[in-house]
Structure 1
């Protein structure tokens, strides 16, 4: 593997590709909410909003210390892209602008300073462009020169006045903290990084959908705001983030071969395979979600999960006493199984707030998966079969009564 400073190193080009979606997210959060965005359409990023019109953005994530000079290929390649668009539109694009964002700096004394924001108008720009292009023997810049010759001279001022260079832009590794500082001030400090990571995870997936053609609509600023609001609400005192609602076990859910205690308990009450499969999935999701909460330290008080489990056991015991009340010592096995399923069903379909770890957490898998975790302990804290305590060896160890 070549060293990072090798001429063959791909680190900077690779960073450039990753830079596009991350920088687009930053800008979309800064622009008005009605802004829409495409990536890799007519340029690296394509913004459109009611106030600014259409903006074609070229991004250049350069090595530290890089400068933009009169004959920098980065600038002239972008000019070629914009020229192709401008000529395609027959120069009749009154509301389009061309922006170049670069992490480098415009070199001192370069004519490119005339394209920086707030630079005074320079009527000599077309003439300067001609003189500078005449100095270059670069094939890359030559392609731009050839294309520029197709543009009528009287259109040159209009074309070049649309170009703005924003130098010294945020580097890719700094953008997360910038977004956190600018947009997540209302989130508790310890939760800002998890909120950002969830936002970027969603955003990255949407960018992939867009680039792969599976998404046809542009990315919208209002959509980003909605998702950010949704994620932020999960970190309130009465809520918790839900990340595993649609997760599946890596090796699948196999009701017939799974030999864990909670599955054996479900077989003991005659639960159908499709429901056992659902229980296996709920167990997996709850296990992963609870682990994630602990890793991210989103619990506000120590022992919250343990207290939640105690509450689940208490609610289970209350309902068990009611459901099992009419059973007799000689109740047949079929009735015992039916009653055990009723206990499970009533807990599965109950919307009682005591079954939620917090009032805002409504995902069923959290409750039922936690119950299956309790049923899976070496000495299960909950059970479903009315005679479980008498038949624990039969149910968990396959012994005959």
Structure 2
């Protein structure tokens, strides 16, 4: 069982993993223009890594600490655990190997060896001497193996190893990363819809990160990232309606349970709509209703545009409904009426249009809007739907 203490101890680790994932997006946006042929990965070569044609060129160890925690020193566990990772995986004796970056929210202690590995105040001889002395003098059990392995490299290999290491201390904490990502995307922010745009970029990145962490996707290249953020930006032009309610965001079982008693669901029950199709229809209703409300609230869509779309759907339905009425024989039993209604519903839901003023061709909007109109009793599937809908509204 997870105790309160366990949960508290796990929180910094969870925060660290999240920071690592977010930092990778910031890296991609910040440095992508300077590396057009590169790609970035998560947990492939290192926490975060840059590569070109599958060969790593830069490995990043990402360390996140809460405010107020002590400085990074030559004795820090973060330092020696990072060196251990690189000694195990990054061929430390190879002077031509990938650049090794320790990215930490801590500040390197003044006059320390790690401070001498900063880009702006670099002194590799001083750093090497300081790390050798720390490796020999420290007694902490947790860093013993790393210190022994470092000393075992010998002077020449230690020098080659140190020449590839850079410390990026005082890096932004996780709370600062969204602001920095926003700053990197300032050129793409659609006026008046900045938050929606950024939410869609983060959604895209979360999907990429999850695919990489599941080993289903190796990396994200710079070109793909540029195309993705530009493509999302294009959704905010006047000619397009940005879709923010994705199918993967919907708990279909919970939504079906919540809407089980709605009139549009009863409408489908009256024509014996199959259970799987019924559940899918409820999800379409939920997505379309939620998406349209979002568009209206954020002025992506005007009430007049929505009303025109509804009128077009109604006219198409009315014509097909009239054909169904004419084809039903006088005195048809309810089973025949059910089959006719189910056929009408099925045919209308697979029809490609009309579209929402040609600005959205998402099929779920068309299908869901049919159910919205059915929920209001404006359209229906059973030939006697109007009378049944009125009775339904009178029920306590």
Q: Same fold (TM over 0.5)?
A: yes
Map 1:127-142 → 2, pairs under 5 A: 127-142=129-144
Map 1:143-162 → 2, pairs under 5 A: 143-162=145-164
Q: Report if aligned partners of 1:248, 1:284 keep a CA contact under 8 Å in 2.
A: no
1:148 Cα deviation after fit: 1.4
2:223 counterpart residue number: 222
Secondary structure at the residue paired with 1:280?
Answer: helix
2:373 counterpart residue number: 374
Q: Report if aligned partners of 2:112, 2:130 keep a CA contact under 8 Å in 1.
A: no
Report the CA distance shift for 1:209/1:326 in structure 2 as closer, same or farther (over 3 A).
closer
Q: Report if aligned partners of 2:48, 2:59 keep a CA contact under 8 Å in 1.
A: yes
| Cα separation, 2, equivalents of 1:272 and 1:149 | 71
1:160 Cα deviation after fit: 0.4
1:168 Cα deviation after fit: 1.5
TM-score with structure 2 setting the length? 0.80
1:232 counterpart residue number: 233
More divergent stretch after superposition (341-350 vs 150-159) = 341-350
1:61 counterpart residue number: 64
Identify the match of residue 308 of structure 1 among 300, 306, 309. 306
More divergent stretch after superposition (54-63 vs 9-18) = 9-18
Q: Report if aligned partners of 2:241, 2:300 keep a CA contact under 8 Å in 1.
A: no
| Cα separation, 1, equivalents of 2:86 and 2:24 | 19
Identify the match of residue 81 of structure 1 among 64, 68, 85. 85
2:38 counterpart residue number: 35
1:44 counterpart residue number: 47
1:21 Cα deviation after fit: 0.6
TM-score with structure 1 setting the length? 0.79
Greater fraction of residues in helix? 2
Q: Report if aligned partners of 2:50, 2:59 keep a CA contact under 8 Å in 1.
A: yes
Counterpart check, 1:167 vs 2:191: no
Deviations along 1:205-244, one digit per CA (max 9) or x if unpaired, are: 443343344x152343333334333333333322122423
2:26 counterpart residue number: 26
2:264 counterpart residue number: 262
Q: Report if aligned partners of 1:240, 1:298 keep a CA contact under 8 Å in 2.
A: no
Report the CA distance shift for 1:343/1:310 in structure 2 as closer, same or farther (over 3 A).
farther
Report the CA distance shift for 1:282/1:151 in structure 2 as closer, same or farther (over 3 A).
same
1:275 Cα deviation after fit: 4.5
1:281 counterpart residue number: 283
2:318 counterpart residue number: 320
| Cα separation, 1, equivalents of 2:142 and 2:272 | 73
Map 1:192-211 → 2, pairs under 5 A: 192-211=194-213
Residue-pair matches, total = 381
1:314 Cα deviation after fit: 4.5
Counterpart check, 1:106 vs 2:108: yes
Report the CA distance shift for 1:315/1:107 in structure 2 as closer, same or farther (over 3 A).
same
Map 1:329-348 → 2, pairs under 5 A: 331-332=329-330, 333=332, 344=345, 347-348=348-349
1:120 Cα deviation after fit: 4.5
Q: Report if aligned partners of 1:375, 1:382 keep a CA contact under 8 Å in 2.
A: yes
1:15 counterpart residue number: 15
| Cα separation, 1, equivalents of 2:236 and 2:305 | 19
1:179 Cα deviation after fit: 0.7
Deviations along 1:187-209, one digit per CA (max 9) or x if unpaired, are: 22443323323333343344334
Map 1:176-195 → 2, pairs under 5 A: 176-195=178-197
